[in-house]
Amino acid sequence: MRILVLNPNTTASMTEKIGAAARRVASPGTEIVARNPAVGPASIEGFYDEAMCLPGMLEVIRTTPDVDGVVIACFDDTGLDAARCLTDKPVVGIGEAAYHMASMISNKFSVITTLGRSVPALEHNLHKYGLSARCARVRSSEVAVLELEEQGSNATNRISDEIALAMAEDRAEAIVLGCAGMTDLTEFLSARHGLPVLDGVVCALTLCESLVRLKLRTSRLGGYADVPKRKLSYAN
């Protein structure tokens, strides 16, 4: 089995971190293909960045056909619906996966994301997935995405402080980390605070593997119907 783990931004160091996280939990025999677009924003923090990254990330999917499934490794689930129109192989977003898994192990969870301008997109997705009632609150740590790549930054402590507030004020029983760049923090933060801390990268990878094993593919009826070839004429 080969799974494309696609980081929609262009920061290669983050792609390497995401790929490493996926490989740690991948089943024996699963090959992880971690990639990012050649062009687009260096980080995705809000609606504008999401729109700017779409052509590049969809091109990666179009030109990587020899995979069995795709993980969209941006917590906004950037381009998730469009990607499902481009391939009938399973496509799983890391936000979608983490929300569903958190709802299975807690009565309510809080999300700790990066900047405040990312909050509305995540709240919209929770409503779309029917999980708004299970999420106590979406909190911003005011840690920029690229700070997570900086050696010596205090990003982890600021995220940790926000988890403490979520436990005290939201009565959160689990925490979902709202950025793929936080994928290496789960074990430390879970041990520090004594509750489940979920990372969407590993949640999505395991769900994608399961869909592939069950031979389930994306439905071609309705909204996820094949994209007509004439609409792909922008690509060479």
Same domain, 136 and 116: yes
Of 51, 91, 99, 109, the closest CA to residue 75 belongs to 99
The predicted pLDDT at position 153 comes to: 79
Of 187, 64, 66, 179, the closest CA to residue 112 belongs to 179
Q: Is the pLDDT of residue 162 over 80?
A: yes
Instruction: Give the residue numbers spanning the domain of 208.
Output: 2-93+202-232
The predicted pLDDT at position 147 comes to: 84
The predicted pLDDT at position 232 comes to: 60
Same domain, 140 and 113: yes
Same domain, 38 and 62: yes
Q: Is the pLDDT of residue 112 over 90?
A: yes
For the segment 222-236, what is each residue's pLDDT rounded down to a tens digit? 999 988 776 565 444
Residues of the chain with pLDDT > 90, as a percent, come to 79
Of 77, 70, 63, the closest CA to residue 33 belongs to 70
For all residues of the chain together, what is the average pLDDT? 92
Of 79, 144, 78, 141, the closest CA to residue 110 belongs to 141
The predicted pLDDT at position 235 comes to: 45
Buried b (16+ CB within 10 A) or exposed e, 7-30: bbbbbeebbebbbebbeeebeeeb
Are the C-beta atoms of residues 13 and 78 closer than 8 Å to each other?
Answer: no
d(CA 102, CA 5) in angstroms, rounded, equals 21
The predicted pLDDT at position 137 comes to: 97
Residue 191: how many other CB atoms lie within 10 Å: 9
Same domain, 105 and 195: yes
The predicted pLDDT at position 44 comes to: 87
Q: Is the pLDDT of residue 145 over 90?
A: no
Residues of the chain with pLDDT > 70, as a percent, come to 97
The predicted pLDDT at position 236 comes to: 43
Kindly report which listed range (152-161, 185-194, 224-233) carries the lowest average pLDDT score. Answer: 224-233
Token output for 29 = 């025999």
Q: What is the CATH number of the domain that holds 140?
A: 3.40.50.12500
Same domain, 156 and 209: no
